[in-house]
Every structure is written in structure tokens, then in C-alpha cells.
A and B are shown apart, each in its own frame.
Chain A
Amino acid sequence: MRQIEAKTITECVERLCIEANYNLNEDLIEALEGAQRKEESPVGIEILTQLIENARIGRKGTYPVCQDTGFAVIFVKIGQGLEIMGGDLYEAITRGVAQGYKKGYLRASIVRDPLARVNTGDNTPPVIHTEVVPGDNLQLTVMAKGGGCENMSRATMLIPAKGKQGVIDFVVDTARRGAISACPPIILGVGIGGTLEMSTLLAKKALLRPVGRSHQDSTTNELERELLEKVNDLGIGPQGWGGRTTALAVHVEKYPCHIASLPVAVNVECHSHRVKTIVL
């Protein structure tokens, strides 16, 4: 059985937290540049230009791209043939988050109790989603998820009679209500099917796909394009100051569901989309 040290996991998570917050991925920069070329609103073009400049400053490594350096959401894919030595997996990840946020001069944005609201001081605990997969690799993905855009996310349990149109209406309405405050141009992760919690997890996982990469299923891809067009027709534009780029992308993921249900979840992501992955 392949073995991996808990300490290695901590070091990797620490590094990914810092990289995510300073160095935006190329797919996102390309999406912003594409939007800049197509945008009709002068102030919209100006905003997109400033966001690209902001990303450039971030890459120098002294100012995180956003002051909200996020809730650390960690996606773990662990091969069933892998053994973790010298410590507990979740503790190793949590320590990595604490160290990364401290060493990277990142903001502590987590309160221990949602009602008492006292800051934990080191941005822990993270949210950890684990999948056991075949093989003996360990894949770690760190998403630094902003609170402002997360707040604009919604889930609903539609009745099956609502069908595709019901899904479209819910997604577009979510953008109409929330996009202005979610730092547009936004990215929408949409989860359709499963159970209540499955739909929300699908919506978040949909955000992990490189920005704007088409879904391999043509029907889903067609739905994504239709949703993107309708969201952009809202005219909200960059920062809500008006324009044709309200969203950079809409990513949809589906899962089988109960004969009685049609769960739909929309996870709203800001333009400061911070995701880093490593495979060990």
C-alpha cells in the first residue's frame, strides 16, 4: 500500500492557500480578457481592465487579489490504496490552512459560532469534502471562497412539472437578485438533481471546471449557453455599473434524482475565482 506523510499534506495545503489568493489561474484571466474585448459599456471595459491589472499586482506576491481571502473549501479525492502516516488527514489539512493564511498574510474570516460570532483568528476550520476513489493518489483542491458571493447563492426544490424552464427561471432570477452584490462578472455553478445537499455540492463542484470550458454532454452544454446568454441579457454588467458581461460562465452539473423531485442549486462565484489543485 502506498504511504504518504500527513506533514506533506499540511505543506501542500499551506502552499495552495497562498497560491490561490495571489496567483489567479490563466483560464480566468483569459475569460476576463475575452470579456474586455466584447464588452460594450465603456465603464465595463474600464473595470475589466482594472481587474486584469489587479491580477497582475497579485502575481507579484505581496497583495492578495481580494481582501476577502475566503473560506478555505478543500476537495479531497483519496485513492483507496493510499495510507496516511503520522497524523489525521483532516487535522493535517486544517493545520495547512492555518499556516497558509498566517504565512501568506491572508485574512482570518471565520467565526467559531455563527450566532456568537467570535473570529477563530486563523481562518480555520476549513470545509472539507472527501471522495474515495480507485487508485493510490491523493488529489487536493483548495478553493478560497468569498463570502459576499456565497451569500447570493440559492437552492430550491422544484416540482418535476417545472422542468427545464423552471430551472432557467430560477437561475436567472438568482442572478437578477444577487449578481450586483456578488462582484460581477460572476461565474455560476448550477447543480441539478440529487437530493437537497447533493444539488448544492454539485453546484460548488461545477465551479471547479476551468472557466468557460464546455460540458462534455451536448444537452448540458446547450443549457449552459442558454443560461449564460439570459444572465448577460440582464444588463447588470461588471460591478453592476451596466454592461453585457454579467457572467463569465455558467457551469451545470447533473445527477439522477427522485421521481418526486427536481432540486436546483446555484452557487454564485465572484470574478476573483481562486482554485488550486495538486495531485500527490
Chain B
Amino acid sequence: MPEFVRIRAPMDEAAVLSLRAGQKVLISGVLYSGRDATHKRMIELIQKGEPLPFDLKGQIIYYLGPTPARPGQVIGSAGPTTSSRMDPYMLPLYEKGLKGTIGKGNRSQEVIDLIKKYKAVHFSNIGGAAALIAKSIKKCDMIAFKDLGTEAIYRLEVEDFYCIVAYDSEGNDLYKEAMARYGR
């Protein structure tokens, strides 16, 4: 098995279904940033029946609030924030076709079940490696919610963006397997 699986974002269903918890992946393509306040606002739009700033079908949301870019930088430091804080917002997003999420840490059983039900995937990347991660982001444009500052939605073009599959579409769980293997 190759050390890395290369995938394109947005993802097609075949790609999502082929991924397994514990696999290392390199993502190239487009990601959208979003964290707490971003999610709250997106859910409010869905509840009001208004359109979202981007079509969620097949997309990956990266749980990110970057530091301000210096002149000449594409983006500032850009590591992941805690995934579980977005757990309460997930159902309407999967209903709208969201296929992937990237963040640090584990998720609730409810979300693991939703990932399985909606044939989605959750990736984890290295929390706190934010300076290093910034180098795989090649383009960054703010597309919505400018007033939220770091919590605005940024459209990110990434190349060989390093992640691991944390939860796959069959309900496998990287974290549980890891603890069972190394715990004493």
C-alpha cells in the first residue's frame, strides 16, 4: 500500500467510499474554511431557506481561523481547530451534500453515525503545526461573512495538504483503534 493516498477536493463518492480510517492522504483542490461563528451563521441561513455562500455538494470544510496574512503571504498560520465544537451543526450540512471535514480531535458518536449514514469522511491534520500547514495553501480568498474576521469563509486552494482519515464512511474510528493499540 502506498504511504499516501492522493485525493481531489471536492470529492466524488467513489473517492469518499474508498478511504479508510488511519490512511494518510494528500489533498489537492479546494477547501472552504469555517469554524464556530461561521457554522452558526450557515445554519441560520439554512433555517431561513436562504442560499449558502457556496454549494456544499462534495465539498470539504476545514475547521480553520487563520492568523492575518503579512504582505506577500497567501495566508497566515493555518492549523486546524477542535472538530467537536462543530458537532451540533453537522446534520443540516450533510443533508446539503457536505462530504468531508478537517479538524483536530475526536467527534461525538452522533457525528460518527452521521458520517456513516451520509457516506462522508472526517480527516484530521496536525494541530499546532500551523506554520508548516500554511505552506500547502496556495491561494486564499475571503468569499463571505467578512465581518466575522478570522471566522469568515475563506476559499482555499491547496496542494498536497497532509491529513489522516479519522472517521470513514463505514464508521471506523482512528482514535479508538490508536488507543487500543498503544494503551497499557
Residues of A within 8 A of B (CB): 40-41, 43, 47, 50-51, 53-54, 57-58, 62-69, 105-109, 117, 119, 121, 148, 151, 180-183, 233-237, 239-244, 270-272
- B110-134 vs A, Cβ < 8 Å mask (1 yes, 0 no): 0000000000000010111111101
Instruction: Write the chain B residue with the least CB distance to A68.
Output: B81
A53 to B134 Cα, complex, angstroms = 13
Q: Determine if A108 and B128 form an interchain contact, defined as CB atoms under 8 angstroms apart.
A: no
Chain B residues whose C-beta falls within 8 Å of the C-beta of A236 in the assembled complex: 175, 178-179, 182-183
Most chain A C-beta atoms within 10 Å of own C-beta, residue among B127, B131, B178: B127
A65 to B132 Cα, complex, angstroms = 8
Whether A107 touches B67, Cβ cut-off 8 Å, given contacts A43-B164, A117-B37, is yes
Q: What 8 pairs between A and B have smallest CB-CB spacing?
A: A242-B178, A181-B105, A235-B183, A235-B182, A63-B131, A183-B127, A57-B131, A272-B128
Interface of A, helix, strand, loop or mixed by DSSP:
loop
Q: Determine if B37 and A66 form an interchain contact, defined as CB atoms under 8 angstroms apart.
A: no
Q: How many A-B residue pairs have CB under 8 A?
A: 149
Please provide the chain B residues from 27 to 72 with a CB less than 8 Å away from any CB of chain A in the complex: 37, 64-70
Instruction: Write the chain B residue with the least CB distance to A234.
Output: B183
B73, B82, B128, B177: the one within 8 Å of A151 (CB): B82
Q: Does B172 contact A (CB under 8 A)?
A: no
Chain A residues whose C-beta falls within 8 Å of the C-beta of B65 in the assembled complex: 67-68, 107, 109
Q: Determine if A235 and B181 form an interchain contact, defined as CB atoms under 8 angstroms apart.
A: yes
